[in-house]
Amino acid sequence: MSRKLEIIVLAILLIFAVQFFYISSTTHAEYGGADDKPAGVIEQITGGTYKPIASSIWVPPSAEIESLLFALQAAIGAGIIGYFLGYYRAKSHYENNIGCKDQRKSEVGKNIL
């Protein structure tokens, strides 16, 4: 089985990891969320006159709870992907095997007749 694609993807992930270690050790990057940054730009553009028209109905009470919920989201997704890929893999494996056996049986049957 060719593993060319796996190797390429692994290499890309490695480069990504090296990038992180390099940047984080050479700069004082804060690694804040890019999604939160527009708020500052909006304040700058409007001169602080823009007031958000709504606020979140519920905010995770701490960073720990927030990371818990993000991890939960990823875990649910990963579980579903793993379940179905595993299910299909096993299914095609057994179908092929049983299919082969049936074929062999019918061949044996033919020989007897």
Footprint on this chain of another protein (rule: CB under 8 A): 1-2, 5-6, 8-9, 12-13, 16, 19-20, 23-24, 27, 29-39, 41-42, 44-46, 50, 52-60, 66, 69-71, 73-74, 76-81, 84-85, 87-89, 92
Can you tell me the distance from the alpha carbon of 93 to that of 101, in angstroms, rounded to the nearest whole number?
13
CB-nearer residue toward another protein: 73 or 103: 73
Can you tell me the distance from the alpha carbon of 105 to that of 113, in angstroms, rounded to the nearest whole number?
12
Query: Least separation, in Å, of the C-beta of 101 and another protein?
Result: 21
CB-nearer residue toward another protein: 55 or 111: 55
Can you tell me the distance from the alpha carbon of 80 to that of 101, in angstroms, rounded to the nearest whole number?
31
Query: Least separation, in Å, of the C-beta of 65 and another protein?
Result: 10
Can you tell me the distance from the alpha carbon of 3 to that of 86, in angstroms, rounded to the nearest whole number?
19
Can you tell me the distance from the alpha carbon of 112 to that of 104, in angstroms, rounded to the nearest whole number?
12
CB-nearer residue toward another protein: 52 or 109: 52
